[in-house]
Structure 1
């Protein structure tokens, strides 16, 4: 069975179903009597709602209900909360403004839900929405992150200077002392651009209330049904047992589908109110207006160096855009999620970070692939590169000089993480060799002769992931020896089904075809932490292995009876023919399937019920090096990635094929942020300017070269399988590597920094403004 086990490049078993169109996504679900929900949204970024008249709309054909904030208040529906507590700086105040399900009195961003229309058809609902008369009194708006603290427009009347929180981490006194002693201080102003997740499958839900059981069922594309169930129950003020959440196939999540959105609450409320199932599906235009966004912060970062170029300290002052309200996990992403990784892979004795979260008249901002770790890597790796250039050192040599050596493991960072393993310099050197850095000068000279500027960029990243919540797995064995896995993680396209089958096949020695999986059902699967933070395989995988081991323990007495041997003499073995039990010191053997067939089924038809649970004692710390060569056409400013090399350390490798796919996808998203993507608002009105794919640029296949991906694993010492998370890594290393390459390409033109997205017009202006200045 080894060809299906750990370390094998097994192709995804899901793909046969999905590529043939047999997948079942939320919008594919239809139930008898189903109605359609439609959201009337605010056309203004900031306005008082003076009045709302729904009478004419409610009398139109096919309309079953028009729900307003008044209806929700009368029913006791609460706001959707931010669930992460935050301790702010001494002498400051935390202003937690939770997201209302429907606007009440004021609207605070374009697209904020104002009313929910339930109709027989979408077009009838849209016609009724046009007939709802809302009288708005438009107010001043602030949409710019950097201007929020000083702007006269207030998002919330009781929040001075739009300051949601003022937070700090690290040793300020020690860091100030390091800077006071520094021979050189390097400073860099950074913008981390706002992004839309844009998964292939937009958000959708279907709510149906079973009056007899008094249970509301919500079918929704999510990243975890149990958290969704619990958040819904909190908003309704009810027992979680009154909600049954189902998730089928999910066409991409990237963090954005973790959250409880107003539309999900509204569908559940409406299904109860009208006594019929209610479905809502986002259009792409709605997605830009209503999905939580990612990133969006501005930073001032500083690095203190001694005379030899060794780092003494790092200081960061970050302003993070929270949008109009705090989303479910927003307070964590830009505070602990980002700043705990400011050590990067370097020995930095003292670090201090201050983060101020600000409210603006924009959609809420929360986790997007990497969730704080890409922001940290971008800050650190851009600062490292700038420091190397300022002191005249080679960027790779400067990194080596300051890297944490393997001999220092386990290494405690100033921000509280303990790195258990890693060979950062070894990974850097391997990446540079694979990238043929030695041949770069010749390639640069050739490009220049062709009218292109060629640059090489390096980024060495590390991230903390796969910690936090425990995960449980249940393995139900049938009399024919097949296994049904119940697991609380949620695949969004990563290939969980394949990976978990490999683990079970490795332990039990059964064919993958004999293994099935149930996920995304809050009733059938008892508990689950969902998918996010690259946790599923390092956490869920260990739980699955423990569950499989429990199956062996339960099956051993049955095997002993069949083999007519003492239970203590029975050993489980996996051979090329499969798994089974043997008597030590003999050739007596019984296959696992025969043991299952001899066991007595329980009331549910299961002969064994193995359970496993894993609570990670700490994070895992995947790391790696990205090396990018990028060219810029002098005449047009058009950038092109010519070569992309990445060497990663993900610890023990479960399936290298799945890993490579995850890294490729992450790099594509990182490239999109670095070169193309930007959510832009009008700074005066707060209107969204990038509300479609005509305005919001997305990566295409021809934007990326072939990616040279390789692994240099150092097993994790804190994970029983040696695994490290991998789902977000590509997006973490890509942005700084690409921008470092662009700065290198434009260095002869006096360019020391390029903000993201580095589009062709931006690069053209940088080249030609430098050319004009030199000519003058």
Structure 2
């Protein structure tokens, strides 16, 4: 089914309702925070007198006030390894909750220690600057490798070595035996740098007192119902019925807006304490300091192969950066990435150890890929290094080890159950385009080194909680869909409407999708882990089928026919072999709610979208500048309900992965200061940095959900980084460059070229010509 996207008109005409568009009620107080300039320090005294004397300031609140009012910290929501099953979620014995504002010790730069409420935003900012804190500076380390080193300053006294937990999977003995018998062993040390989310719209919170002692929270949150539940159950200790969470349009999320933050806690608490609406609007610098961040892994990995280049075993030891606190879903990236430990390959045995490491940095959490880009990067980089060591073409080594269709379904060493896909066919299709040799020669003529990289990508997504959907048929034939997922640009309105329309025969424009209101929608798990279509969409389809079945019965009564004699023609029900018919709109006018239905879907397994991505980059041998010149992707997505949206999802994810490979990194100095706290320092790609990103869709519908779709929202960040790094190494191989860590900045590449074992860069260029 084709047609225009339904959400575009309001967004393109300035009618979108983002957080900044939410009107502040009369009497709203504006909230600003005094944040720690230290990565690790003790609060000796906190003087608020000057802040309270600032014109327009109404109140100043601090961590001691939170404790006095019994306000809890932000708890972990995914159980850390080793935490007994009978410990409640958020139990401090497993990991201390993150305080909304600490009363004693700060553990990363930017942690809020005082909240100033004032009549205007400017007064609130002035008051925040006037707060005086006497600090006792404490030793700090903000990088994961340094935090795991012997003798590093501890973030938590009860976590020796800053290790919060250890995950071990696989067969250590069998892996050791395979390595001992291997003809070839390839080993790599790889860093997957820390990234910021950088959504277009920063975070915000508007807390408003309602009648009957209730409160509303308007906030750009990707998981409205879980946010409400955590706030009420673990932090504010309110009944859930006391809080309504509302979400409008969201200007980007990528997982960054999917968890509870201190600012939302403080806004609600202050509104309840002062009896007035409270509004906090974060700025870009605050986002770089206090948003959850992603990636941040230090890996030591090895691959064992036989003489023919076939994989015998894989070994991985990873330090996964957690930051100062265990975020609500901070366990997910270290744990979930292991699901795809085998990548796309036939890996007989493996052994992996992952340690969660605290440091004096902002917490990490699930961020577009949630651990899978980190693990897939390791696997693909090992394959490229093995090909170089064996003297094989990287594509040929992959071809020898790819799982073949006749071997599927299969359980992998990561305990994933890969279903039907044709990886060799996708590889052939990805390599079908020729002309690389001519492009390389042309690049040399322009004084550039050209390289090509390939990545075989797979991910495990679309599993977890059940999702529910409710369809309410209006008397005019319109259909309202109520669902607890939350769009932040993924095109839910279009795709869900097409699902409903495809079952009921109505126009997609007749379907209105309602999201982002915990009062209007009974339940929901929000959007994350690529579950909206594969789980939420499955619930939508089941609900639509229930409406269709009820419509058939109602039509049979209206037409005085046996339901089995009716056939559906578009939106009409027709008595077979006659001209007697009744339309859906007429049925809706008669129904009085009898057509309303619900659907619920609980997935039994992940979906496993896979693809082949090819990148070409040019390197300036004089400056080290890396430019992406070509990129192409072939991806198995199962059934694409909205192919243009699917391609857009893949392209957006690829762009994020390209950004990670070429420039995005959060840097700290030796004291824990953030060196990349603005867009002047943190490099986000511009449109001019990207070529066209063609995407070809392949694959048959999966049987794992009624829609037949596989997840794709996180596929791009999984696939792009290894393809780009290998392309750069391919370009630089004549210079003796064998390894590069991300990001591939001009300085990084320039230094690698000068340190390589090959000829001088310009000499290598002349030899290639």
User: Aligning the two structures, in what range does the TM-score lie when normalised by the shorter sequence?
Assistant: over 0.9
Indicate the residue corresponding to 2:380 in structure 1.
381
Shift of 1:670: 0.6
Q: Is the 8 A contact 1:103 1:114 kept in 2?
A: yes
Shift of 1:773: 7.0
Q: Would you say 1:268 and 2:265 are equivalent positions? A: no
2:130 & 2:146 partners in 1: Cα distance? 37
2:441 & 2:15 partners in 1: Cα distance? 52
Shift of 1:39: 1.2
Q: Would you say 1:47 and 2:41 are equivalent positions? A: yes
Post-superposition Cα deviations, 1:597-645, rounded to whole Å, max 9, x if no partner, equal 222x2xxxx4521111111111100000100111101112111111111
Indicate the residue corresponding to 2:5 in structure 1.
12
Post-superposition Cα deviations, 1:748-769, rounded to whole Å, max 9, x if no partner, equal 1111111000011111222233
Which is further off, 390-399 or 166-175? 166-175
Q: Counterparts of 1:296-315 in structure 2 under 5 Å?
A: 296-315=296-315
1:160 & 1:768 partners in 2: Cα distance? 40
How many residue pairs match? The answer is: 752
Q: Counterparts of 1:275-674 in structure 2 under 5 Å?
A: 275-335=275-335, 337-434=336-433, 436=434, 439-571=435-567, 573-574=568-569, 578-599=570-591, 601=592, 606-674=593-661
Indicate the residue corresponding to 1:64 in structure 2.
58
CA RMSD of aligned residues (A): 1.7
Q: Would you say 1:743 and 2:761 are equivalent positions? A: no
Shift of 1:27: 1.8
Shift of 1:55: 2.8
Shift of 1:175: 1.3
Q: Would you say 1:690 and 2:682 are equivalent positions? A: no
Q: Would you say 1:26 and 2:19 are equivalent positions? A: yes
Indicate the residue corresponding to 2:88 in structure 1.
none
Q: Would you say 1:223 and 2:222 are equivalent positions? A: yes
Shift of 1:94: 8.0
Q: Is the 8 A contact 1:455 1:630 kept in 2?
A: yes
1:104 & 1:341 partners in 2: Cα distance? 41
Post-superposition Cα deviations, 1:656-710, rounded to whole Å, max 9, x if no partner, equal 1101111111111111100111100002x11001111111111011111112211
Indicate the residue corresponding to 1:728 in structure 2.
714
Q: Is the 8 A contact 1:95 1:159 kept in 2?
A: no
Shift of 1:771: 7.5
Post-superposition Cα deviations, 1:272-293, rounded to whole Å, max 9, x if no partner, equal 0111110101111111111011
Which is further off, 48-57 or 670-679? 48-57
1:297 & 1:716 partners in 2: Cα distance? 32
Indicate the residue corresponding to 2:766 in structure 1.
none
Q: Is the 8 A contact 1:749 1:770 kept in 2?
A: yes
Q: Is the 8 A contact 2:736 2:759 kept in 1?
A: no
Cα 1:397–1:722 shift into 2, 3 Å: same
Indicate the residue corresponding to 1:87 in structure 2.
81
Shift of 1:386: 0.6
2:757 & 2:172 partners in 1: Cα distance? 42
Q: Is the 8 A contact 1:169 1:353 kept in 2?
A: yes
The unaligned stretches of length 5 or more in structure 2 are 85-91, 764-769
Give the secondary structure class of the aligned counterpart of 1:117: strand
2:32 & 2:605 partners in 1: Cα distance? 44
Cα 1:629–1:491 shift into 2, 3 Å: same
Indicate the residue corresponding to 1:78 in structure 2.
72
Give the secondary structure class of the aligned counterpart of 1:533: coil
The unaligned stretches of length 5 or more in structure 1 are none
1:653 & 1:158 partners in 2: Cα distance? 49
Indicate the residue corresponding to 1:258 in structure 2.
258
1:170 & 1:264 partners in 2: Cα distance? 40
Shift of 1:59: 3.6
2:378 & 2:4 partners in 1: Cα distance? 36
TM-score by length of 2: 0.95
Cα 1:773–1:450 shift into 2, 3 Å: closer
Give the secondary structure class of the aligned counterpart of 2:587: helix
Which is further off, 543-552 or 232-241? 232-241
Indicate the residue corresponding to 2:667 in structure 1.
680
1:384 & 1:215 partners in 2: Cα distance? 57
Q: Which has the higher contact order (CA 8 A, sep 6+)?
A: 1
Which is further off, 274-283 or 81-90? 81-90
2:151 & 2:518 partners in 1: Cα distance? 45
Shift of 1:98: 2.1
2:227 & 2:375 partners in 1: Cα distance? 28
